[in-house]
Amino acid sequence: MVADAIKVHWEDGTVSSYSWFWLRDHAKDPISFDSRSQQRELFTAMVDPDITPIHVEKSRDGDSVLVSWPDLHEPVLYSADFFFEFMQPENRLNSWKKTVWDAQSISEDDYSMDWSQFLQDDGLQQLMTRVTSNGFALVKSCPTNFDTIAHISGQIGYVRHTIFGGMWEFEANEGMSDSAYTPKELRPHTDGTYSHDAPGLQLLMCCHYDAEGGDSIMVDGLKIAQCLEEDSPESFELLKSIPIKGRYSGDGVELIAQRPVFKTDDNGEILQVSFNNYDRAPFRLEDGLMKKFYHALRAYEVLANSPNLQWRHVLAPGEMLVFDNWRVMHGRGAFTGKRKMAGCYLNREDTESCARKLGLMY
């Protein structure tokens, strides 16, 4: 009887099984796979569901297996590395290493760097290591012009265009619909809750500061999640499951999207934190559930607005925050005077691509 799979016995005693069909689907011969574009050429749906190889041969050193398939002229090589990569059946997206922090645990070395450091050969690595680990970086002594933002965003990926344009600058501006344009306190929030694909990264640079107050606020959304899970598990569960509508209405658009505060994968790992009470659109649940939701919202906001969890710093001209909008909430204290900021958004997948290329994903 023909076996229905290749079984690999690993040194630690575990056994992995790879079915024939899966192996045929993952063949990297020139007919089935374009190695230049890394795209599958095989029309998988047309492969015989019961396909079995004609011949299977292990190399002498045990480093690879040659499989001859009935629909291919040449045998296909499968390396030990390939088997190792798919040792466990799993289907999750890679992530980067994160250090959860609060006001007490974070130190300047964790997040701070200089523009001159960014210009060094490993500058991008230094920046992205800080951003992925803590969710934000502070780049000091930047030239206060758009070229700086274009340079950093261009190294990471490319600028995302939204209702605010590509690269933007703003000071207190009562003409815009968004709360970010006022001098009032801006409580911690994430941007783009009204977007199905919220901006992944935000660059925010202070260009001019002749004011009192206006300190920037960063809060680690993962720390909020940790605290909630410990102190208020029922609220944590609700915030993982109830989709909240976000809305941007004005400036010629009517944008609406929805997702829970904590978006998780099948393993319960948090993929995205989103919350913006300013942009929260009306929705109504059954009264009992609505009450529980408001209780959870209150627990969340108490943490987000707690000095114990907030990093606060008045940005001086030439200081730029680069932060993960899928993890860190940002805000700003009230201010009087003149404060001019510039920045841009980047997409999440481009940010991830940059981290992946730098070897920061696992």
Q: Which is nearer to Fe ion, 83 or 181 (CB)?
A: 181
Report, in Å, the least distance between residue 319 CB and Fe ion.
17
Q: Which is nearer to Fe ion, 102 or 191 (CB)?
A: 191
Return d(Cα 348, Cα 126) in angstroms, integer.
Answer: 19
Dihedral sign of CA atoms 215, 216, 220, 224 in order:
positive
Report, in Å, the least distance between residue 204 CB and Fe ion.
8
Report, in Å, the least distance between residue 165 CB and Fe ion.
15
Q: Find the residue with minimal CB distance to Fe ion.
A: 191
Q: Which is nearer to Fe ion, 118 or 345 (CB)?
A: 345
CA angle (101 as vertex; 96, 352 as ends), nearest 5: 20
Q: Which is nearer to Fe ion, 56 or 163 (CB)?
A: 163
Site residues for Fe ion per CB under 5 A:
180, 191
Torsion of CA 110, 111, 116, 121, to 10 degrees: 70
User: How many Cα neighbours within 13 Å face the side chain of 259?
Assistant: 21
Q: Are strands 253-259 and 262-264 parallel, antiparallel or unpaired?
A: unpaired
> Bridge partners of 112?
138
Q: Exposure of 230 by Cβ count < 10 A (0-12 exposed, 13-18 middle, 19+ buried)?
A: exposed
Instruction: Give whole-number Cα distances, 129 to 178, 223, 242, in Å.
Output: 31, 19, 32
Return d(Cα 260, Cα 278) in angstroms, integer.
Answer: 16
Q: Which two tokens stand for residue 92?
A: 């999750």
Report, in Å, the least distance between residue 189 CB and Fe ion.
6
Q: Which of 208, 155, 197 is nearest to 322 (CA)?
A: 155
Task: Specify the 3-state DSSP secondary structure of 153.
Answer: helix
Report, in Å, the least distance between residue 191 CB and Fe ion.
4
Helix then strand count (H, E) for the chain reads 10, 22
Report, in Å, the least distance between residue 302 CB and Fe ion.
20
Q: Which is nearer to Fe ion, 142 or 180 (CB)?
A: 180
Q: Which is nearer to Fe ion, 23 or 180 (CB)?
A: 180
Q: Which is nearer to Fe ion, 72 or 217 (CB)?
A: 217
